[in-house]
Amino acid sequence: MHHILICTTSYPESSHASGSEAAGSFVADFASALSEHARVTVVAPGTETSHEKKGNLWVKRFAVPSLPLSLLKPTTPSNWPAILKTLRAGQKAVREAAEEENIDHIFALWALPSGYWARRVAREKNIPYSIWTLGSDIWTLGKIPIIKSILGKVLHESSKCYADGYILADDTSRIGNCPCDFLPSTRTLPVKEKKVLSEQPPYKLAFLGRWHPNKGADILVDALGLLEDSHWEKIKEVRYCGGGPLEAEIVPKIEALQQKGRALTLKGYLDQDEALELFMWADYLMIPSRIESIPVVFSDAMQTMTPVICSPVGDLPRLLKGCNIGVLSDNSSVTGFAKAICKASNIQPSSFITGLHKTQQQFSCKNSVKFFLRNLLVSQNKNPIIYGKR
């Protein structure tokens, strides 16, 4: 049985993490599913140093000054001491895990800093490593000249690169000068019953995400404000869930719509059970992003057979045009998204069932694990456990 070391900066400290930790949630689900086929040791940040073992899965946490790490910004000088302390602690933890265990492969989630840690330990211990990139690796850090150079080396020297989006995979390949495969990031929702989609209006609409400009949280609120009475007659209720930096702008606008009698419910971040309840309730999930690859909530929607209303960004146009799973807006503007909502209100959600079934199979945590393991076996057959470039 292979022993795989996963080093990551995203891993929830509880099985029912809030929606603010969606990325960590799917990492935990991936690690759990992988442990059914291999021994897995996860090295991740935590509020304190700790070890936890469950079956073939061992989680080793290294203490960091603050969580989540995404709040630490290199552009803010006051964050530098915490960033440096976190980088040293992570490197030390990955090295110690590789020394204590008989590791066959290191899987870094994500390229930086996890991939950098993996590369250094791989060189020292002669262990191959692979990397799973996110948009923040390539589209944010990849724009900084010095960091882009380090990123390119980390990607190029890995035995395999993955990305959680098609466009992202192409961009990763260019920066690393190496092949990169699409590997969907999806958490496992405990769906226990068959979804029943409405056959006629009024329909139930949902939004779950960070209230951040990239996620278009403000676009959605303003789009809802453009809907006329005749449009709202076809909407039973809109549930607007999440939280983030745009709260001061969004909450007053939602309250103003509520005062007009609009069927709009405001909720905060949701844990996994609450998120599942939302998706099972909704006839449509709204994804109004300005910048996106493939959000975790998209795979949640596919698992729960929920059609989507999406902005035409990232890989969403490819996914919606390839399979009939929802409505794509003409553009990412407020007016464009409002029109998409109106269009969806005139389409039976049940008409998307065939496309949803097809896409559901692709966006499965078990399928992602199987794809990763197949590639791992192929790469080892071509180049047995030995460190080095392709």
Q: Is residue 196 part of a domain?
A: no
Same domain (yes/no): 305, 169: no
Same domain (yes/no): 247, 324: yes
Structurally, how many domains does the chain consist of? Answer: 2
Q: Is residue 302 part of a domain?
A: yes
Instruction: Please give the C-alpha separations between residue 191 and each of 4, 195, 285, 305, in angstroms, as whole numbers.
Output: 28, 9, 17, 10
Domain with residue 158: its CATH number is 3.40.50.2000
pLDDT at 390: 41
Confidence of residue 388 (pLDDT cuts 50, 70, 90): very low
| Degrees, nearest 5: CA angle 354-360-366 | 150
Model confidence at 20: pLDDT above 50:
no
Same domain (yes/no): 137, 253: no
pLDDT at 274: 93
Same domain (yes/no): 375, 340: no
Report the SS3 class of residue 155.
Answer: helix
Q: Is residue 192 part of a domain?
A: no
Say which residue, 103 or 194, is predicted with more confidence: 103
Q: Is residue 324 part of a domain?
A: yes
State the average pLDDT for the chain: 90
pLDDT at 283: 97
Q: What is the dihedral of CA 136, 158, 6, 369, to 10 degrees?
A: 90
* Per-residue pLDDT tens digits for 334-387: 999 999 999 999 999 999 999 999 999 889 899 999 999 999 887 666 544 443
| Degrees, nearest 5: CA angle 69-74-79 | 65
pLDDT at 22: 53
Q: Is residue 387 part of a domain?
A: no
Same domain (yes/no): 265, 373: no
pLDDT at 387: 38
Same domain (yes/no): 228, 144: no
Task: Tell me which residue of 376, 375, 216, 193 sits closest to 297, measured CA to CA.
Answer: 216
Q: Is residue 323 part of a domain?
A: yes
CB 70 within 8 A of CB 55: no
Say which residue, 69 or 150, is predicted with more confidence: 150
* Per-residue pLDDT tens digits for 140-165: 888 888 889 999 999 999 999 999 99
Same domain (yes/no): 174, 269: no
Same domain (yes/no): 268, 327: yes
Q: Which residues contact 278 (CB under 8 A, 6 or more apart)?
A: 206, 208, 239, 241, 270
The number of beta carbons lying within 10 Å of the beta carbon of residue 387 is 18
Domain interval for residue 261 = 203-362
